[in-house]
């Protein structure tokens, strides 16, 4: 597998938790990941040793905190292979990053009758901000459908792109189906018509090597808490030429050059989009999380999680009446499923009693549920510390629950 998950588990104190006397089996990584000690230590260390508001201070602590925050930006830049640190805007996470683009891009470029293309498998956070733009600006949404296996029908994209299309917004990896979308191809198709693309990388960045220049995305967004970093911090990558053209998202301190009651001028990138005191503790902890996964190696992580996916799919397939939701060839490490007519919530509640943490419900992707004619699924999503033994425990737990309901 390229590395030993047992060594990695030792870095995550929470994995020693007992749930109802049983060892915790944490399979809810698509919702959020656990944090290694080094990330938690970075947060504590910053508060203990170098807490001061950044950018504006001449004093020692402020300079130190500023350097750490700007170093963190460079860490994100290198991690995504962005051309410049000016192209990395810290946000609260994926959701805020999409809202930033929808709001600023919408103000600058969208008018009544324009169109935004999204996919049928988007998380609500890559649908609702565009719907807000719909009511604010009168744009309409067009949707790339997926097939019965949960594979995006990219060949339909050409018909959806028109001279009114202003932007395409699509997930790199579906949080519900696990499908890895051919974002490079989608970008190429959109760019042929001069249309920019936003890629939601919430479920890709933690699990595979992402190179924004190679994908050629105009905007790429992700959340720190899904990549073993803290909550409340994430990033928007945007090509400089686009970010330069967008108006600020929020007004306040730091995002300005000069303020008077007659005229205010805005700061340069990236500060133009970072109003107020930024989460400089979160940014440095996110950088530590990135160093942590890079030390393991993104290719090793991808290989490990693919092995877990393959094993989980084989094991769970043996369960009578199991139905997988999302059967794309190219999948990330998660399985969404239903067993017979057992309600996902009931299945999840039984698994919980066995110490197994899975997510149940619509996973903030109601259009996916609608397409399959279901209310929800059970989702087990894998991370770097999961093991084949944990998959055995999951499969045994699902089998046990299924037997209880068969009776």
Separation of alpha carbons 259 and 135, rounded Å: 32
User: Whole-number minimum distance, CB 229 to ligand PMP, in Å?
Assistant: 11
Among 28, 114, 115, 200, binds ligand PMP (CB under 6 A): 200
DSSP-derived secondary structure for 298-330: HHHHHHHHHHHHHHHHHHHHTSTTEEES---SS
Size of interface with ligand PMP, in residues (CB under 6 A): 14
In this chain, which stretch among 16-24, 121-129, 287-295, 387-395 interacts with ligand PMP, using CB under 6 A?
Answer: 121-129
Q: Which of 364, 369, 374, 396 is catalytic?
A: 364
Asked if residue 93 binds ligand PMP (CB under 6 A), the reply is yes
Burial of 406 (0-12, 13-18, 19+ CB in 10 A): exposed
Nearer to ligand PMP, 125 or 377 (CB): 125
Among 42, 46, 95, 103, binds ligand PMP (CB under 6 A): 95
Asked if residue 332 binds ligand PMP (CB under 6 A), the reply is no
In this chain, which stretch among 123-131, 135-143, 281-289, 317-325 interacts with ligand PMP, using CB under 6 A?
Answer: 123-131
Separation of alpha carbons 98 and 104, rounded Å: 10
Asked if residue 203 binds ligand PMP (CB under 6 A), the reply is yes
Among 94, 120, 377, 381, binds ligand PMP (CB under 6 A): 94
Q: Name the packing angle between helices 280-296 and 298-317 (round to 10°).
A: 80
CA atoms within 13 A on the CB side of 251: 5
Asked if residue 171 binds ligand PMP (CB under 6 A), the reply is yes
Nearer to ligand PMP, 118 or 187 (CB): 118
Q: Print the binding letters for residues 253-282 with ligand PMP: x by CB under 6 A, - otherwise.
A: ------------------------------
In this chain, which stretch among 61-69, 127-135, 185-193, 196-204 interacts with ligand PMP, using CB under 6 A?
Answer: 196-204
Q: What is the CA radius of gyration of the chain?
A: 22
Beta 219-223 vs 234-238: how paired, if at all?
antiparallel
Nearer to ligand PMP, 26 or 395 (CB): 26
Q: Find how far residue 279's CA is from the centre of its chain.
A: 18
Active site residue 364: yes
Separation of alpha carbons 121 and 262, rounded Å: 46
Among 75, 119, 175, 284, binds ligand PMP (CB under 6 A): 175
Asked if residue 114 binds ligand PMP (CB under 6 A), the reply is no
Asked if residue 355 binds ligand PMP (CB under 6 A), the reply is no
Among 123, 142, 315, 359, binds ligand PMP (CB under 6 A): 123
Separation of alpha carbons 293 and 39, rounded Å: 11
Integer CA distances (angstroms), 108 to 101, 245, 319, 325, 382, in order: 10, 8, 53, 39, 40
Residue 373, Ramachandran bin (φ over 0: left; ψ between -120 and 50: alpha; else beta): left
Binding site for ligand PMP (CB under 6 A): 30, 93-95, 123, 125-126, 171, 175, 200, 202-203, 223, 364
Q: Which residues are catalytic?
A: 364
């Amino acid at each position: 597998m390229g590395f030993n998950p047992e060594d990695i588990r030792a870095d995550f104190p929470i994995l020693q938790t007992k749930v109802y006397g049983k060892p915790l089996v944490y399979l809810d990584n698509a919702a959020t990941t656990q944090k290694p000690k080094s990330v938690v230590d970075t947060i504590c260390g910053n508060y203990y040793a170098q807490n001061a508001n950044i950018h504006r201070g001449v004093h020692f602590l402020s300079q130190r905190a500023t350097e750490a925050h700007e170093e963190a930006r460079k860490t994100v830049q290198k991690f995504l292979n962005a051309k410049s640190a000016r192209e990395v805007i810290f946000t609260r996470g994926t959701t805020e990053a999409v809202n930033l683009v929808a709001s600023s891009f919408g103000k600058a470029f969208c008018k009544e009758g324009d169109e935004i293309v999204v996919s049928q498998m988007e998380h609500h956070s890559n649908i609702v901000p565009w719907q807000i733009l719909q009511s604010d600006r009168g744009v309409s949404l067009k949707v790339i459908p997926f097939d019965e296996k949960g594979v995006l029908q990219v060949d339909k994209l050409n018909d959806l792109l028109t001279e009114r299309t202003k932007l395409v917004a699509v997930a790199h990896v579906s949080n519900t189906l696990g499908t890895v979308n051919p974002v490079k191809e989608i970008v190429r198709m959109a760019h042929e018509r001069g249309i920019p693309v936003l890629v939601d990388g919430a479920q890709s960045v933690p699990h595979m090597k992402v190179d924004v220049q190679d994908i050629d995305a105009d905007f790429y967004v992700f959340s720190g808490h899904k990549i073993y970093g803290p909550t409340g911090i994430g990033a928007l990558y945007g090509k400089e030429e686009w970010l330069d053209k967008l108006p600020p998202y929020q007004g306040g301190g730091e995002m300005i050059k000069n303020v008077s009651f007659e005229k205010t001028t805005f700061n340069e990138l990236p500060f133009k989009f970072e109003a107020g005191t930024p989460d400089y503790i979160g940014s440095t902890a996110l950088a530590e999380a990135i160093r942590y996964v890079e030390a393991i190696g993104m290719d090793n992580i991808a290989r490990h999680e693919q092995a877990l996916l393959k094993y989980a799919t084989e094991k769970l397939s043996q369960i009578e009446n199991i139905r997988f939701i999302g059967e794309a060839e190219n999948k990330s490490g998660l399985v969404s499923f239903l067993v017979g007519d057992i309600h996902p919530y009931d299945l999840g509640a039984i698994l919980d009693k066995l110490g197994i943490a899975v997510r149940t419900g619509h996973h903030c992707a109601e259009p996916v549920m609608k397409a399959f004619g279901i209310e929800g699924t059970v989702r087990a999503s894998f991370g770097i510390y999961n093991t084949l033994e944990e998959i055995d425990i999951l499969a045994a737990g699902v089998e046990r629950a299924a037997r209880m309901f068969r009776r």
